[in-house]
């Protein structure tokens, strides 16, 4: 490796001094010899057809059974569900209320406690801002965690701009919140605690039942963003003492553009509406409910209630298979988040000495992600990984594998083999990997530019 590095020294620009021996790091592939280029080239890999899909935390495919249920309301039954004077409105309203009941049944709620929205982002905005503002004259404190979805964090920042005090709770190294620290953070001025059920980047499950019990004992409302959890793990809003819960359609094999909020009636939770309008959905979310989308969400929840156990066993099997294949073949692979208190369909791995974006580009025939789809435009390392104490270089080397209902064994095996191949290839190109293998402490090197 050192001879190879010396060969390109006339073209390199970055030097590192280790003992008395200079080392040059190549910064551009065009400086490499033809032999080296041939060894590391992936130009002969041609993508034939569409990539495999392993990004189930970003979105899930629409279940064909959900589409079948929706189709009549996209064509024949097109009435406004809020029109009370004719059959077109009545039949749409009946379908909407059936869907409301299907959602409520999945989470153990009363159908009257389910409010349709456009998705989990709107649900989170209404829950966090709506509760805080309604009770704002008496209570001005909100608690959330540092690993929440961006829409919850930004809603909290908006409240800070209105004079509210927000506590952003740190999480432990496994990604789980400390109940003792949460207890200490609560004050008589606290109106709301918002903690997500399953994290969208690392899959960690929070102790929602214990958090709910703690909040109830303190007289504080508890909101949870359950977009990644509903339909995938059992949730009972009464047993878990959840007061508000956000749901997303396209995370459970339903359509995009629809979601719901669960809002408890007893003890009653009051919300200040975020948008003005005709007062639909108990005045909490004005606007015409899109019947086809609501029907799709209801159908997705109905299917999930019947197949949740089977789905969970399937994704657990696939996740363990993928993890074992990769970690058996590759050293220095770190699993992010608690390995036990987790939803298995979300597997977040860091590959030391490999740039995550480079690995994603190499794995062009598999649809993967290096983090949340909602923050993927940023080149900053994942704030979730930084919150659990991951080093910046490991945070940049993370890949999220998302498996779901329709993922196959062949897809998992193909992804594992490709991942092993390209991680090995990228590491062979990395002087840092060579230094690590020689036992050099890379973190203590003083780099200098020439």
Which tens digit of pLDDT belongs to each residue from 69-119?
Answer: 999 999 999 999 999 999 999 999 999 999 999 999 999 999 999 999 999
**What region, left, alpha or beta, does residue 404 occupy, with left being phi > 0 and alpha being psi -120 to 50 degrees?**
beta
Alpha helix segments (H runs only) across 14-147? 34-40, 64-75, 87-107, 120-134
d(Cα 51, Cα 367) in Å, to the nearest integer?
6
Average pLDDT of the residues in 207-221: 98
Question: Over the stretch 378-406, which tens digit does the pLDDT of each residue have?
Answer: 567 899 999 999 998 899 999 999 999 99
C-alpha dist (Å) from residue 225 to 81, 106, 168: 27, 16, 15
* Residues assigned a catalytic role: 374
Q: CA distances (Å), 203 to each of 57, 78, 138, 377, in order?
A: 9, 38, 36, 21
pLDDT at 445: 75
* pTM for this prediction: 0.89
Alpha-carbon dihedral sign for residues 89, 90, 96, 99? negative
Token duo for residue 297: 């969400």
pLDDT for residue 289 is more than 70 = yes
Structure confidence at residue 2 (pLDDT): 40
pLDDT band for position 440 (cuts 50, 70, 90): confident
C-alpha 177/C-alpha 156 separation (Å) is: 18
Three-point CA angle 38, 39, 44, nearest 5° = 60
Length of the chain: 450
């Amino acid at each position: 490796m050192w001879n190879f590095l010396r060969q390109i020294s006339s073209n390199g620009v970055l030097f590192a001094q280790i003992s008395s021996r200079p080392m040059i790091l190549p910064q551009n592939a065009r400086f490499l010899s033809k032999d080296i280029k041939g060894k590391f080239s992936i130009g002969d890999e041609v993508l034939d057809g569409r990539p495999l899909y392993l990004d189930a935390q970003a979105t899930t495919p629409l279940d064909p059974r959900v589409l079948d249920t929706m189709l009549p309301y996209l064509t024949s039954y097109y009435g406004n569900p809020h029109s009370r004077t004719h059959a077109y409105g009545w039949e749409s309203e009946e379908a909407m209320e059936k869907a409301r009941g299907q959602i409520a049944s999945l989470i153990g709620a009363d159908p009257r406690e389910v409010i349709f929205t456009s998705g989990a982002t709107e649900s989170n905005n209404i829950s966090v801002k709506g509760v805080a503002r309604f009770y704002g004259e008496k209570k001005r404190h909100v608690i959330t965690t540092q690993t929440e979805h961006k829409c919850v964090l930004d809603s909290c920042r908006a409240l800070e701009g209105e004079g509210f005090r927000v506590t952003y709770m740190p999480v432990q190294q496994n990604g789980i919140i400390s109940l003792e620290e949460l207890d200490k953070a609560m004050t008589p001025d606290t109106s709301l605690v918002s903690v997500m059920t399953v994290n969208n980047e690392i899959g960690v499950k929070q102790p929602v039942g214990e958090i709910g019990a703690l909040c109830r004992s303190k007289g504080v409302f508890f909101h949870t963003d359950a977009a990644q959890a509903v339909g995938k793990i059992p949730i009972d809003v009464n047993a878990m003492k959840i007061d508000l819960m956000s749901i997303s359609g396209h995370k459970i094999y339903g359509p995009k553009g629809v979601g719901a909020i669960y809002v408890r009636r007893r003890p009653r939770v009051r919300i200040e509406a975020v948008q003005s309008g005709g007062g639909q959905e108990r005045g909490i979310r004005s606007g015409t409910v899109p019947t086809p989308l609501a029907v799709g969400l209801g159908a997705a929840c109905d299917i999930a209630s019947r197949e949740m156990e089977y789905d969970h066993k399937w994704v657990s099997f696939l996740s363990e298979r993928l993890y074992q294949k990769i970690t058996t073949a590759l050293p220095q692979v770190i699993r992010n988040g608690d390995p036990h208190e987790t939803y298995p369909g979300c597997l977040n791995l860091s590959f030391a000495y490999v740039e995550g974006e480079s690995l994603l580009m190499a794995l062009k025939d598999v649809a993967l992600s290096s983090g949340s789809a909602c923050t993927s435009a940023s080149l900053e390392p994942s704030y979730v990984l930084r919150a659990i104490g991951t080093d910046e270089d490991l945070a940049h080397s993370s890949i999220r594998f998302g498996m779901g209902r329709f993922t196959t064994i062949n897809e998992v095996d193909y992804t594992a083999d490709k991942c092993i191949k390209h991680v090995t290839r990228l590491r062979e190109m990395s002087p840092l990997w060579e230094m690590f293998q020689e036992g050099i402490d890379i973190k203590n090197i003083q780099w200098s530019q020439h």
